Amino acid sequence: MIVARCALAAALTLCAGTAAAQEMPQGFVHLRTVDPGIAQDMRYATANNFTGHPLPGYDAGTCILQRAAALALQRVQADLTKQNLSLKVYDCYRPTRAVAAMARWAGDPHATPDTRRFYPTLKKDRLFALGFIAAHSAHSRGVAVDLTVVTKGSQQPPYDPAAHYGSCAGPSEARAPDNSLDMGTGYDCFDAKSWTRAAGLTAQQRARRALLLQAMTRRGFVNYKREWWHFSYPAADPRREYDFPVR
């Protein structure tokens, strides 16, 4: 009986510890509590992403960040508001289980549905080597954000999972719907045109990327050169990855 009670106590302790590990850690915040004016279009909580499925760990489509990163983003938003513009975030904190799911997708040649519109000119098994997908991510530390710029008050058009959208690097009117200012490619476009300073862009597309880059770097963010939409905030980096779910 004593052994059974001890076993039960140990099991309850283990369950309690597991439950506690799933809670949002101190220092993280929901972006909406800091700046509800920043638009959110959280793609990994939906099927509108390069895997074609919601990713594990995204129980809700909401942006979570380290508090300091969220406050810095609020300052960027205040700067853009003066130009009748707004930030729109595609991804913020990303659980490590979602990062692992991305890696499994990249290594599975039989994964469905067909999402080649996200990598129109590349072989899927090259995405790791080319730096578009990684085994570790600053997103899992709560200090990275994928985002764009929209006209303030504009609405995101509906996504149709049954539609056949064109290449993410093609003309904006053929891509999946997005109210983003046209940056030359869609979000998560695994293509050379996604490099922040890529060639082959129109003058307007270059100017819009420069606008986003300047607005973000002015407030302490650092861009990843292969993805115009990806920025990290080193000042808040805890150098630790997390796996609590987005709720």
Q: Where are the alpha helices (DSSP H) in 82-202?
A: 96-106
Task: Annotate 21-47 with DSSP letters as a single string.
Answer: HTSPPTTEEEHHHH-TTSEE--GGGSS
Burial-class residue 102 by CB neighbours within 10 Å (0-12, 13-18, 19+).
Answer: buried
- Residue 131: what pLDDT? 87
List the single range of 2-16, 90-104, 113-127, 206-220 with lowest mean pLDDT.
Answer: 2-16
- Residue 40: what pLDDT? 98
- Residue 18: what pLDDT? 38
Q: Is the pLDDT of residue 5 over 70?
A: no
CA distance 182 to 173: 10
| High-pLDDT (> 90) share of the chain, % | 86
Mean pLDDT across the stretch 125-143?
Answer: 92
- Residue 229: what pLDDT? 98
The token duo for 88 is: 């729109």
Q: Kindly report, residue by residue over 159-178, the tens digit of the pLDDT.
A: 999 999 999 999 999 999 99
Q: Is the pLDDT of residue 2 over 50?
A: no
- Residue 68: what pLDDT? 98
Return mean pLDDT, the chain: 91
Confidence class of residue 1 from pLDDT cuts 50, 70 and 90? very low
CA distance 161 to 172: 18
Mean pLDDT across the stretch 228-234?
Answer: 98
Mean pLDDT across the stretch 38-61?
Answer: 98
